[in-house]
Every structure is written in structure tokens, then in C-alpha cells.
């Protein structure tokens, strides 16, 4: 009897650890990727790419196969015929997965967890298509201040709709791998309340998934640096190597914008044309100041970007990248990230648009 019980437990244990076969068949749209191009299956581990497998493209087709014990998140990375590096995110799971990749979209079919992931992307793509159509309409019209204001209001409303749609998906599918993936890749613009609601719905396994422990930890920092809280001082070396404290700037102008950025961050640098225009508009008025905090690792890259972008405000960096002390103090996990502080030292906004910042400066903010 004891021997039979032991054998049964051994079989169950073995079954629990059994690997299952997977097959991933991928197809590129005609001309998107040249034949003989190497396609990689990779994972992102602590902000570094780790190669798991590779395949050669033949007539627009590639495939991966292997064994998997538990489904996991991965990327198919490739270089287009025009030299652009791109990726397609997938879940490696038992069974057969078909992925079709064209210049704009990725379709995943045939595997249940990927089907759920695809259902989220389909809704996200629909919102983006709405934006593109509205943008074309906007660009075809004469540009007036009123129309520009209306456009910015529309974009804000669409972004809020996208965030709400994401939160709804994660909550409706809580404790599934697709929901965990979407949460960890889309949480940046969620409110504290939205993140709290999601975390409350997670079980122990999900709370340990990937970046979720960091999100939970950062939430406590966010609460301390949320709108309505007094700012926390930070002091880092400026471009000359001298320590410069945020407290030396707060109070010198009606509003100080703490701007977290890096030379390698495309969206950061894309934002500078509007930000420099706003800064120039209020230079010498004691109404607006900027305190730039760089997440660079190399001084030459940091200082070179400041010079090439013509950023004439105050800048600091400890050149520690994502380990930047200032970024950690304010719970920064994605850039660009901004914090707006009033003359009294109270945080009045985070990640505001240029129009919203100017409304504070002019006293028009509600």
C-alpha cells in the first residue's frame, strides 16, 4: 500500500514537472524582412536582452519549436529590410502558435493565452486607428489656437480612455499571464487608485511576477510624492560637478518643473521643442523654472544632448542610469516623467501636458 502510494505521488510529481511541446510559425508580410535574416526569440531580464533561440527567414517564414514547462513572455526580434529593429511580443505556451507580422500590426492565433493577449491588442489598435483618423482630419484643417486647444483636450481624453480600457482588461482577467504582462508594460500612466485596485485583485503568484514587486514598492513612494504632498528634496551633481539641490530652485519661481529624462530617450528629446518654447516664453518672469534630472550613464552623452537640444535650464545627474537617486526618490520607472511643484513646495501635477503646465503658470488651472 505504501509502495503504491509512493509510486502515485512520484507519477503526479513527474506530471507536474513535465515539459510540453510548442511550435511557433511566423510569417512576415511580403518584403518586410529579407530572406536569410536571423530572427531571435528573446526575453528582457533586468533591462537586458537574453537570447533564447534563433531562426532563419526563408520566403518570409520562420519557426521556433521546443519544450516548455510553464508559459512565459518573450519577444520575437528582427530587423526589417530597411534596417529597422523591431519586435513582436508573444507568450510561449504549449501548442501551436501562428503569428503574422506586417508593417503596422501583429496577429497571434491558435494558442489560448496568446488569443487573450491578442484580444487586448485588438482593442488598443482600434483606439489608435480612431486617433489616426482624427489626426488626419485635424491636420487637414487650418491651425488655430482654438483648434489646437480642442485637439489637446481630445488627445487627453483618448489617453484616459486607453488607460481605463487597460485597467478593465487587467481586472477582468486578473491572475492570468496576459493580464500580468499588460499590467507590467502599461502601468506607467495609471493613477495610484487604479494600481491599488489591480494589486488588490492579485493572488500571491501574480504579486511575485516580473516587475510587480517593484510596482508595489514604488506605489508607496508615489503616495509620498503624489499630488498634494510636499516635495522631497534631492541633490545631485550639476554639469560642473557641483552639487545642486532642488530646494535651491523651489520657491524662486511660481512653479518648478522637475523633468526626468535621458539622452537616449527618444520621447524625451521629442518633447524638448515644446518645453524649450514654454521656458523661453517665461524666462525672466519668475513664473517658471525647470530642474532637469538625467538618467544617463555617460557625462558626454548627457552634456552633448543638453548642448544639441539647447536646454538652458538647470541640470543634474549622478550618471547612474535607472539607479539615479533622484528618480528613485520620485518613483520614476519610465521617462519622460515630470513633477510640477508650486512656490510653496506642494506637488500640483505629474506628467502634465504643456498646455496643462501653462494653465498653472497663468493661473487658469482648475
SS3 labels along 77-90: EEECCCCCEEEEEE
Dist. CA 138–CA 175, nearest whole Å: 40
The answer to whether residue 188 scores a pLDDT higher than 90 is no
> What pLDDT is stored for residue 254 in this prediction?
97
Residue range 289-345, pLDDT digits in tens: 999 999 999 999 999 999 999 999 999 999 999 999 999 999 898 899 999 999 999
Q: What percent of the chain has pLDDT over 90?
A: 79
> What pLDDT is stored for residue 333 in this prediction?
83
Provide mean pLDDT across the span 276-297. Answer: 96
pTM: 0.77
> What pLDDT is stored for residue 18 in this prediction?
65
Q: How confident is the model at residue 17 (pLDDT cuts 50, 70, 90)?
A: low
Dist. CA 312–CA 292, nearest whole Å: 10
> What pLDDT is stored for residue 2 in this prediction?
43
Dist. CA 224–CA 210, nearest whole Å: 24
The answer to whether residue 36 scores a pLDDT higher than 70 is yes
SS3 labels along the chain: CHHHHHHHHHHHHHHHCCCEEEEEEEEECCCCCCCCCEEEEEEEECCEEEEEEEEECECCEEEEEEEECCCEEEEEEEECCCCCEEEEEEEECCEEEEEEECCCCEEEECCHHHHHHHHHHHHHHHHHHHHHHHHHHHHCCCCCHHHHHHHHHHHHHHHHHHHHHHHHHHHHCCCCHHHHHHHHHHHHHCCHHHHHHHHHCCCHHHHCCCCHHHHHHHHHHHHHCCCCCECCCCEEEECCCCEEEHHHCCCCCCEEEEEEECCCCHHHHHCHHHHHHHHHHHCCCCCEEEEEEECCCCHHHHHHHHHHHCCCCEEECCCCHHHCHHHHHCCCCCCCEEEEEECCCEEEEECCCHHHHHHHHHCCCC
Q: How confident is the model at residue 147 (pLDDT cuts 50, 70, 90)?
A: confident
Q: How confident is the model at residue 273 (pLDDT cuts 50, 70, 90)?
A: very high
Q: Which three cell numbers stand for residue 72?
A: 512565459
Q: What are phi and psi of 204, to 5 degrees?
A: -60, -40
- Which domains are seen in the chain, by residue range? 18-109 (2.60.40.1120), 113-224 (no CATH), 235-362 (3.40.30.10)
> What pLDDT is stored for residue 13 in this prediction?
47
Find the distance separating the first CA and the last CA of the chain, reported in whole Å. 76
List the single range of 1-15, 147-161, 253-267, 288-302 with lowest mean pLDDT.
Answer: 1-15
Dist. CA 306–CA 129, nearest whole Å: 35
The answer to whether residue 16 scores a pLDDT higher than 50 is no
The answer to whether residue 15 scores a pLDDT higher than 80 is no
Dist. CA 118–CA 299, nearest whole Å: 42
Amino acid at each position: 500500500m505504501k509502495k503504491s502510494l509512493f509510486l502515485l505521488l512520484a507519477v503526479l510529481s513527474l506530471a507536474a514537472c513535465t515539459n510540453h511541446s510548442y511550435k511557433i510559425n511566423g510569417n512576415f508580410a511580403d518584403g518586410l524582412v529579407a530572406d536569410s535574416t536571423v530572427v531571435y526569440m528573446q526575453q528582457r531580464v533586468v533591462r537586458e536582452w537574453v537570447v533564447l533561440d534563433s531562426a532563419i527567414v526563408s520566403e518570409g517564414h520562420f519557426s521556433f519549436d521546443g519544450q516548455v514547462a510553464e508559459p512565459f513572455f518573450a519577444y520575437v526580434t528582427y530587423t526589417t529590410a530597411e534596417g529597422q529593429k523591431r519586435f513582436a511580443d508573444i507568450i510561449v505556451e504549449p501548442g501551436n502558435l501562428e503569428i503574422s507580422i506586417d508593417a503596422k500590426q501583429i496577429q497571434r492565433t491558435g494558442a489560448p493565452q496568446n488569443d487573450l493577449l491578442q484580444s487586448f491588442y485588438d482593442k488598443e489598435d482600434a483606439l489608435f486607428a480612431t486617433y489616426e483618423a482624427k489626426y488626419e482630419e485635424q491636420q487637414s484643417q487650418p491651425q488655430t489656437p482654438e483648434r489646437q486647444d480642442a485637439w489637446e483636450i481630445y488627445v487627453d481624453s483618448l489617453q484616459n480612455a486607453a488607460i481605463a480600457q487597460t485597467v478593465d482588461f487587467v481586472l477582468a482577467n486578473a491572475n492570468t499571464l496576459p493580464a500580468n504582462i499588460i499590467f507590467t508594460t502599461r502601468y506607467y500612466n495609471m493613477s495610484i487608485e487604479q494600481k491599488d485596485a489591480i494589486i488588490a485583485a492579485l493572488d500571491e503568484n501574480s504579486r511575485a511576477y516580473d516587475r510587480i514587486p517593484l510596482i508595489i514598492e514604488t506605489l508607496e513612494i508615489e503616495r509620498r510624492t503624489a499630488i498634494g504632498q510636499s516635495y522631497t528634496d534631492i541633490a545631485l551633481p550639476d554639469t560642473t560637478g557641483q552639487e545642486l539641490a532642488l530646494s535651491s530652485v523651489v520657491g524662486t519661481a511660481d512653479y518648478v518643473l522637475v523633468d526626468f529624462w535621458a539622452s537616449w530617450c527618444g520621447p524625451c528629446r521629442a518633447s524638448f521643442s515644446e518645453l524649450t518654447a514654454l521656458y523661453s516664453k517665461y524666462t525672466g518672469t519668475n513664473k517658471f523654472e525647470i530642474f532637469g534630472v538625467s538618467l544617463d550613464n555617460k557625462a558626454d552623452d548627457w552634456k552633448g544632448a543638453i548642448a544639441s537640444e539647447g536646454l538652458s535650464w538647470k541640470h543634474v545627474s549622478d550618471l547612474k542610469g535607472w539607479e539615479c537617486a533622484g528618480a528613485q526618490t520620485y518613483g520614476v520607472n519610465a521617462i519622460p516623467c515630470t513633477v510640477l511643484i508650486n512656490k510653496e513646495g506642494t506637488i500640483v501635477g505629474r506628467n502634465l501636458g504643456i498646455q496643462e503646465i501653462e494653465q498653472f503658470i497663468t493661473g487658469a488651472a482648475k
